[in-house]
Structure 1
Amino acid sequence: MLRKMPTLFKLFGFVLLVIETLIGMVGNGFIAIVNCIDWFRSRKLSPADMILSCLSLFRFAFHVVLIRAEIFNLFLVNPVLMLNLNISSDFSWLFLNTASLWFAAWLSVLYCVKIANFSHPLFLQMKRRFPGLVPWLLLGTVVFSAITTTVALTGSNIFSKCNLYESHLNKNNDSAINTSNSCEFLILLYIFPNLFPFTMFLFSSILLLTSLWRHKNLLQNSARDVSTEVHLNAIKALASFFVLYVTNIFVEILSIVFFWKGINDNGVHLILFNVIAAYSSGHAVSLIFMSPKLKQESIKMLHQLRC
């Protein structure tokens, strides 16, 4: 069943979303292909390439789910009806997004343990063991994301009560109190899987910044050595990703609040979708330009296309 023609603003937002989605799919697909080729040639992958491969593959799939959801919202059936009929789409959205945030957090932790210099025994032990734990952490991330997504969607029927939250509050009875507690618990259930990897990313970024500051103070002159350049390149990548990550977390929380309040305006959802797509696409582009291997391969590909 087709819907009426969307407004000019919604069409512009949809075109922008398509452009962002294409950039994200090309960027993440390129990262995955380069790492797969290296894996086929050398029969092994570094811990960083493992995380990048999983991150790019999950984000590629996430872009597919994202653009599909917006096409349904704008051109096909009512989004409320789609929410009831297409549970698999909701599961894919939450699962891919949660796993991608965790992969990105593990990548920042790997940057920290490989580049930062601290003499604390716990950090030295983590520096030695973390690269070997990467495959198990990736597998655990997939399992954890699937479990949290399943639990969150199992309790999604409580959202029907949350939409009547204010009217329940006006009644001084036990039902209003129970509904209030259920709503707060369910919102935390949706937000917590995203806040925890963000805390890990923030903590690892602070450690890396501290290491860079201490290293610069130890230099006797203003000349930059190799270690400082490595720190600066990592900080640039983390700084660009930090802005995107914070924005994405804020939008994710905002979308949950809108859903809780029963706000189903397509224009609002389109803005949120564009921000989420910009986060994934922007980080993929920054990873390509910050990684010497990916940057070199992209230049080779552009040269071959030009020829």
Structure 2
Amino acid sequence: MLSAIEHTLIFITVCESVLGVLGNGFIGVVNCIDCVKNKKFSTIGIILTGLAISRIFLIWIIVTDGFLKMYSPDMNVSSDLTNYISYLWVIIGQSSIWFATSLSIFYFLKIANFSHRIFLWLKGRLNRVLPLFVGFLLISWLLTFPQTVKIVNDYRFLKRNRTWQLNMSKSEFFMNQVFLNLGNIFFFTLSLITCFLLICSLWRHNRRMQMNVTGSRDSSTEAHIRTMKILLSFIILFILHFIGIAIEISYLTVPENKLLFISGMTTTIIYPWGHSFILILGNNKLKQASLRGLQQLKGYCLQFFTVMNKSNLSTVDINAIC
């Protein structure tokens, strides 16, 4: 039986999952509609749509894997579903982080201002850099799949043979996990570097503007500060995502501690749902579309309550006549 704390964390995880699906689904729909209207696919539109779709599938995989391990551990070990989830986790998990890294690189090359020759060369070839970056994702998949097969087989053997678990050193186990997540670590590091450089560029530009402009801050300064806050929020959520993954990996060494696994699952999902709302609030197109959607929803709710009130009044009148 799960404790009250574990049930509370599961409820929080479900709420996070619903918010994540809604937020990322909204981003995907808005960008698809925008592409249909303009009859062309922009680079940022492709990145945001791919990121939203990959995060929706990632949330479902995290939740499905979590509920199987909590409520059907025997099925999780004996069924081939474990293999499918593990392989999908590799493909979708790395794709999600790849799209997030591509978004960081896009903003870095678009917004940052450096005089270095390499930066200027990359900035002038932005539309070529990102397609070439797909090669890193393919290489990561090729290197990760054999390790994934080994991890899945070892985990099954671990569940069936407790002696093997005692003989296997924890250092060897965690080294296998590090090799399994080398691609994610590479994309994660690259994303942090580009975000850090972009924050440095924005901070330096903001300092120059404050020195040249007296009085209250202008709209450009406010935009730069808002962008830095968004980047810092993204970095914090990204780090929490990897902390959650590390907690879930640690659970494999102590499978009886379900609270540890549920805590990791709750922490892991914070990033895919939280960053989607940060993107909506930080992107003018998405923000305006969300405001229009909320206004329409408010109008539908008012119409619904108006109809309900009228029907209640009619019922009261009929009862009075009878």
Structure showing greater relative contact order (alpha-carbon pairs closer than 8 Å, 6 or more residues apart): 1
Tell me how far apart the structure 1 counterparts of residues 55 and 267 of structure 2 sit (CA, whole Å).
14
Tell me how far apart the structure 1 counterparts of residues 167 and 82 of structure 2 sit (CA, whole Å).
28
Tell me how far apart the structure 1 counterparts of residues 206 and 81 of structure 2 sit (CA, whole Å).
57
Tell me how far apart the structure 1 counterparts of residues 186 and 260 of structure 2 sit (CA, whole Å).
26
Q: Which residue of the partner structure matches residue 272 of structure 2?
A: 280
CA offsets, 1:243-281, max 9 Å, x none?
01111112223332332x243532221111111111111
1:227 deviation in Å? 4.9
Q: Which of 150, 155, 163 is matched with 1:155 structurally?
A: 150
Q: Does 1:192 align with 2:198?
A: no
Q: Which residue of the partner structure matches residue 121 of structure 1?
A: 117
TM-score with structure 1 setting the length: 0.84
Q: Does 1:11 align with 2:29?
A: no
Change (3 A) 1:50 1:264: farther
**1:265 maps to amino acid:** N
1:47 deviation in Å? 1.6
Tell me how far apart the structure 2 counterparts of residues 183 and 81 of structure 1 sit (CA, whole Å).
18
Tell me how far apart the structure 1 counterparts of residues 227 and 85 of structure 2 sit (CA, whole Å).
35
- Is 1:191–1:253's contact at 8 Å kept on the other side of the alignment? no
Q: Which residue of the partner structure matches residue 311 of structure 2?
A: none
Q: Which residue of the partner structure matches residue 173 of structure 1?
A: none
1:11 deviation in Å? 2.1
Tell me how far apart the structure 2 counterparts of residues 21 and 257 of structure 1 sit (CA, whole Å).
22
Q: Which of 189, 193, 200 is matched with 1:210 structurally?
A: 200
**1:246 maps to amino acid:** I
Tell me how far apart the structure 1 counterparts of residues 265 and 78 of structure 2 sit (CA, whole Å).
16
Change (3 A) 1:254 1:148: farther
Tell me how far apart the structure 2 counterparts of residues 209 and 130 of structure 1 sit (CA, whole Å).
19
Query: Which deviates more from structure 2 when the two are superposed, residues 206-215 or residues 282-291?
Result: 206-215
1:301 deviation in Å? 0.7
Q: Which residue of the partner structure matches residue 48 of structure 1?
A: 44
- Is 1:95–1:149's contact at 8 Å kept on the other side of the alignment? no
**1:268 maps to amino acid:** L
Q: Which residue of the partner structure matches residue 268 of structure 1?
A: 260
**2:54 maps to amino acid:** F
Q: Which of 292, 297, 306 is matched with 2:284 structurally?
A: 292
Query: Which deviates more from structure 2 when the two are superposed, residues 290-299 or residues 94-103?
Result: 94-103
1:89 deviation in Å? 1.1
1:111 deviation in Å? 0.9
Q: Which residue of the partner structure matches residue 87 of structure 1?
A: 83
- Is 1:51–1:107's contact at 8 Å kept on the other side of the alignment? yes
For the aligned residues, what is the CA RMSD? Answer: 2.7
Tell me how far apart the structure 1 counterparts of residues 186 and 218 of structure 2 sit (CA, whole Å).
35
- Is 1:115–1:230's contact at 8 Å kept on the other side of the alignment? no
Q: Which residue of the partner structure matches residue 245 of structure 2?
A: 252
Change (3 A) 1:83 1:258: farther
Q: Does 1:69 align with 2:59?
A: no
Unaligned stretches of 5+ residues in structure 2: 300-322
1:144 deviation in Å? 4.0
State the SS of the aligned residue for 2:181.
Answer: helix
Q: Which residue of the partner structure matches residue 236 of structure 2?
A: 243
TM-score with structure 2 setting the length: 0.80
Q: Which of 204, 221, 234 is matched with 2:227 structurally?
A: 234
How many residues are treated as equivalent by the alignment?
291
Tell me how far apart the structure 2 counterparts of residues 78 and 30 of structure 1 sit (CA, whole Å).
37
Change (3 A) 1:72 1:80: closer
Tell me how far apart the structure 2 counterparts of residues 21 and 267 of structure 1 sit (CA, whole Å).
18
CA offsets, 1:31-52, max 9 Å, x none?
0000111111112222222111
Tell me how far apart the structure 1 counterparts of residues 17 and 284 of structure 2 sit (CA, whole Å).
24
**1:102 maps to amino acid:** W
Change (3 A) 1:82 1:25: farther
- Is 1:99–1:145's contact at 8 Å kept on the other side of the alignment? no
1:197 deviation in Å? 1.2
State the SS of the aligned residue for 1:86.
Answer: helix
Say which one has the larger Rg.
2
- Is 1:112–1:208's contact at 8 Å kept on the other side of the alignment? yes
Change (3 A) 1:149 1:221: same
1:237 deviation in Å? 1.5
- Is 1:111–1:234's contact at 8 Å kept on the other side of the alignment? no
Q: Does 1:303 align with 2:303?
A: no
